[in-house]
Amino acid sequence: MNTTTSSHPAEAVSRVAFVAAGLFTLRFVFFFLPYLHFLPSGLSGLVQDGTLGGAILGNAEHLVLFPIIAALPAPRWAKQAGYGWLVVDMATDIMALQGVSPALYLALRYGGHISSALWVACASWQATKATRIVGLLYACDIALFSYIPHGSFFLLIPSAFLFPLWLVLVGRLLTQHRTTPLAQMPLDKEHVPA
Report the share of the chain in percent with pLDDT over 70.
80
Contact 137, 165 (CB under 8 A): no
Q: Is the model's pLDDT at 44 over the cut of 90?
A: no
- Torsion over CA of 135, 140, 146 and 152, rounded to 10 degrees? -100
**In three state form, how does the secondary structure of the chain look?**
CCCCCCCCHHHHHHHHHHHHHHHHHHHHHHHHHHHCCCCCHHHHCCCCCCCHHHHHHHHHHHHCCHHHHHHCCCCHHHHHHHHHHHHHHHHHHHHHHCCCCHHHHHHHHHHHHHHHHHHHHHHHHCCCHHHHHHHHHHHHHHHHHHCCCCCCHHHHHHHHHHHHHHHHHHHHHHHHHHHCCHHHCCCCCCCCCC
Residue extents of the structural domains in the chain: 9-181
pLDDT-based confidence at residue 4 (cuts at 50, 70, 90): very low
Low-confidence winner among 8-17, 77-86, 178-187 (lowest mean pLDDT): 178-187
Report the share of the chain in percent with pLDDT over 90.
61
Q: Per-residue pLDDT averaged across 82-110, rounded?
A: 96
Q: Per-residue pLDDT averaged across 83-111, rounded?
A: 96
Q: Per-residue pLDDT averaged across 18-36, rounded?
A: 84
Q: Per-residue pLDDT averaged across 16-21, rounded?
A: 94
Q: Is the model's pLDDT at 85 over the cut of 60?
A: yes
Q: Is the model's pLDDT at 189 over the cut of 60?
A: no
Summarised one tens digit per residue, pLDDT across range 168-185 is 999 999 888 765 543 344
Average pLDDT, the chain: 85
Q: Is the model's pLDDT at 2 over the cut of 90?
A: no
Q: Per-residue pLDDT averaged across 116-145, rounded?
A: 96
d(CA 51, CA 56): 9
pLDDT, greater one: 178 or 81: 81
Contact 107, 146 (CB under 8 A): no
Sign of CA dihedral 11, 17, 18, 23: positive
